[in-house]
Chains A and B, each alone.
Chain A
Amino acid sequence: MNKYLRIIILIFVSNMLFSIANAGSDGSLEMKTKSNSGEINDCFEKVNRGIFAFNQGLDKVIFKPLATGYRKLPQPVRSGASNALGNLSNVVTIPNNVLQGDFKDAGVNTLRFVINTTLGIGGLFDVASYYGLEKREKEDYGQTLGTWGVGEGCYFVLPVLGPTTVRDSLGSVANIMGGDTWYNVTIANDTQYFNEADYYLSKVMSGVDFRAKNLESFDSLERTSLDLYSSVRSLYLQDRRKKIQNLDEITETLSDDDWEEVDAQ
């Protein structure tokens, strides 16, 4: 496991170095500009396309059928599972609220987590919303790095896990280096209450829940795309940029000179 982890870290670090080397004389500045202007830094596109095709195959055989079956479960069961997974994600969101200096959301999320884990029976019921503590946006270490000004670096696709960037991968590494309490109590440390299977089950469930909520959108995208790979890449990067800037409306802040040019013609 340690050897595997070391290899992953090496890949990420070399990937990071590669993207910085590509960024020119003032790497950080140019990477930041690229990130804001919406340019895409797909360093290993050919390999990424291969992995994307592999993931598409996996989706057809495993995830889509699972998600379709999951959608047939009664609504209260799906809501309960979705609530419990959302509640669990607070253990990563809360430290990231703090790291981003958002102490108000950190407080609200902590209260939500305590109330929903106890009164809401392990998060199955969103009792906190009933008490006026509305759900907040999820945060992760990739987003925190983004708010600190770290550029997204190369875009790439991981087998099974899907699209990511160097920055988001480093964020994921932070999870397994102690930043995710759920990982710590299931895998990193021996506890008598949880084991590794609980962690992996929660991750698979999160994937299936997300896929089930987006069955029609994915089908529609597949049907109307001329190049599905680049559509997914665009949507992933837009989504991450939006989350890092905590925007509701992407149009107001992301520069898009193309519309100005079209208007001028």
Chain B
Amino acid sequence: MNTFRIITIILISLFITKLTYAKNPSDLINEIVNQASIVLSSDDPVESKIIKLNDIAERNVDIDGIGMYTLGKYRKSISDEDKSKYQKLFKSYFLKSFSSRLVDYTDPKINVVSEKKVSDKYTIVNSVLEASKGRPEVKIDWRIYTKNPQKPLIRDLMVEGLSLARTQKEEFNSVIQNNNGDINSLFKVLEEFIIK
């Protein structure tokens, strides 16, 4: 009986711990938006802002997952060696592309309006980027991967319903396809972008 009590206590405490650390997808987006807003509205030099933004992205975005997704059909035929090279290149490309898009904004106001669990693994968080200086209001939906509820990760951004991950996938596939299916052609343009 004592053993049973101990097991029950352990299970309950484990459950409570899980509840305590499970992060709500909307909270994740609010947190990221607040962190990014502090960085972008600061007087730090651009280089410092980029480092901080990249740090936020590395902690909250599933960069490896997006990288694999964007390879599309070529994911199946790539060798392990090329896969590892690609993942390194993609991470550098992603972070550079991500920070250079954001750094133009001085203080973006993004408000989370709702969230919808679409499957066991995904929740879509709906938000709105407020209109400013001639830019209209923009709807931004975040695809959050919630397989591990303690560490939800961003996998896609849908700007006015248009998926950035899908756009990226079709762009990468176009580069490879137009070079006779040679994955090295993608590596080359990624490298050129990174050193640009």
Contacts and interface: CB of A to CB of B under 8 A. Distances in A.
Given A234-B170, A251-B124, A259 B161 contact: no
A227 B170 CA distance: 10
A250 B101 contact: no
B167 interface: yes
A223 B158 contact: no
A226 B171 contact: yes
Given A213-B136, A230-B175, 10 more contacts: A78-B134, A213-B135, A216-B104, A224-B101, A226-B193, A229-B174, A247-B161, A251-B158, A259-B155, A262-B75
Interface in B137-186: 139, 141, 143, 147, 155-156, 158-163, 166-167, 169-175, 178
A248 B116 CA distance: 12
Contact of B158 (A45, A78, A249): A249
Interface string B110-126: 00000010100110101
Given A78-B134, A213-B136, A251 B156 contact: yes
Nearest to A226: B189
Interface residues of A, number: 39
Nearest to B118: A252
Interface of A: 38, 40, 45, 71, 75, 78, 212-213, 215-217, 220, 223-227, 229-231, 233-235, 238-239, 242, 247-252, 256, 258-259, 261-263, 265
A256 B70 CA distance: 12
A238 B159 CA distance: 11
Query: Dominant SS at the A interface?
Result: helix
A256 B101 contact: no
B101 A233 contact: no
20 contacts: A38-B166, A78-B134, A212-B134, A216-B104, A223-B101, A224-B97, A227-B171, A227-B175, A230-B173, A231-B170, A234-B167, A234-B170, A239-B160, A242-B161, A249-B124, A251-B124, A252-B118, A259-B69, A262-B69, A263-B147
